[in-house]
């Protein structure tokens, strides 16, 4: 018995990398799968239907438990057709995992409107498209369902990726909105910040060149079977898709190698309250005095994976053989010192 027996899942971007690993694991756990992938290049150009077809055939050569779909997630009607295909082939839809993505990196002062729009259309609009069509069907089915969206630590300020960062930050907001709106229908929505060596990592010139110079292989090739293997991300997705995670809703999880992290949501850490409308002069005086330390310490940092890997060994608690735990508590109110 698998944890997802009887479930039906759509996985976008499932032809390669993280999405492929997710589709394959959900299938092993018992779910029927719609494997979606446009089969485009990393910048979103071109299309190759064989990319999705190959993964579907790997999962089930007969086509009885896995079918492929090559619509673009950026196409609103195409996203509806994905959900419709799941229903036509398997009778229902229970799980939607949004992994599809492209890159068109450039510094903000060099980025064209077309480069901005292409990335936002695939990541943010694409995630909206599938979530919207799935939400309608979840309600028609009488409730229940899982939305699992892929965001990124790049949302916290990655330089050279203003389009990608904005889209991934938007996915966080969209996911939390879905979690609030659909909870009454038994639907959960959560987001994943992944870390793995995929073709996106292969596209980073310095990283690619270093790997090729050392081994003659791309980073994604070197990652197979290691902590950087994209397949490592799939387990948290399968958990969130299962009945065991029915009470987990509106959260952000980081999946880096063999680390699974719960990411904090914004909290107020200090507040100034006046008995009148603030003047600019007052703020020039009191903001540095009240917030200086926090403004210096709490900088946006997209390097979540590196921080997780950098936690000193002595700070971990041995929960059981092969499992360690580390945690911190973010208090809503700090030390009352002026």
- Whether 316 and 325 have beta carbons less than 8 Å apart is answered as yes
* Residues recognised as catalytic: 152, 164, 168
* Closest C-alpha among 266, 162, 257, 233 to residue 14: 233
Q: Is the dihedral of CA 226, 230, 236, 239 positive or negative?
A: negative
The packing angle between helices 162-182 and 113-120, to 10°, is: 30
Report the distance separating Cα 185 and Cα 312, nearest Å. 43
Report the distance separating Cα 92 and Cα 98, nearest Å. 18
Report the distance separating Cα 248 and Cα 237, nearest Å. 12
- For residue 222, give Cα distances in angstroms to 51, 217, 260, 310: 21, 6, 22, 21
Distance from chain centroid for Cα 135: 18
Which residues on neighbouring strands pair with residue 150, listed in sequence order?
A: 192
- Name residue, tokens 């973010």: 330
Which string of b and e fits 197-227 if b means at least 16 CB within 10 Å? Answer: bbebbbeeeeeeeebeeeeeebbbebbeeee
């Amino acid at each position: 018995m698998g944890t997802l027996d009887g479930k039906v899942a759509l996985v976008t971007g499932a032809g390669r990398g993280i999405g492929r690993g997710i589709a394959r694991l959900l299938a092993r756990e018992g779910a029927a799968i719609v494997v979606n992938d446009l089969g485009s290049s990393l910048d979103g150009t071109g299309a190759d239907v064989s990319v999705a077809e190959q993964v579907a055939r790997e999962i089930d050569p007969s086509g009885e438990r896995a079918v492929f779909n090559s619509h673009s997630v950026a196409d609103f009607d195409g996203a509806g057709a994905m959900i419709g295909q799941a229903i036509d082939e398997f009778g229902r839809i229970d799980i939607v995992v949004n992994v599809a993505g492209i890159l068109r990196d450039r510094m903000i002062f060099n980025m064209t409107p077309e480069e901005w729009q292409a990335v936002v259309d695939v990541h943010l609009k694409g995630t909206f498209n599938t979530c919207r069509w799935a939400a309608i069907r979840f309600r028609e089915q009488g409730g229940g369902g899982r939305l699992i969206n892929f965001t990124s630590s790049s949302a916290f300020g990655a330089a050279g990726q203003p389009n990608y960062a904005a889209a991934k930050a938007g996915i966080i907001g969209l996911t939390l909105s879905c979690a609030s709106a659909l909870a009454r229908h038994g639907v959960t929505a959560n987001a994943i910040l992944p870390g793995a060596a995929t073709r996106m990592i292969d596209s980073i010139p310095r990283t690619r060149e270093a790997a090729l110079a050392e081994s003659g292989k791309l980073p994604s090739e070197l990652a197979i079977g290691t902590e950087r293997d994209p397949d490592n991300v799939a387990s948290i997705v399968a958990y969130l898709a299962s009945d065991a995670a029915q009470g987990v809703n509106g959260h952000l999880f980081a999946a880096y190698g063999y680390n699974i992290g719960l990411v904090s949501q914004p909290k107020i850490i200090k507040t100034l309250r006046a008995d009148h409308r603030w003047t600019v002069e007052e703020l020039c005086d009191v903001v540095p005095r009240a917030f200086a330390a926090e403004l210096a310490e709490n900088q946006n940092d997209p390097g979540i994976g590196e921080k997780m890997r950098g936690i000193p060994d002595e700070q971990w608690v041995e929960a059981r053989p092969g499992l360690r735990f580390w945690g911190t508590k973010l208090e809503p109110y700090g030390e009352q010192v002026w």
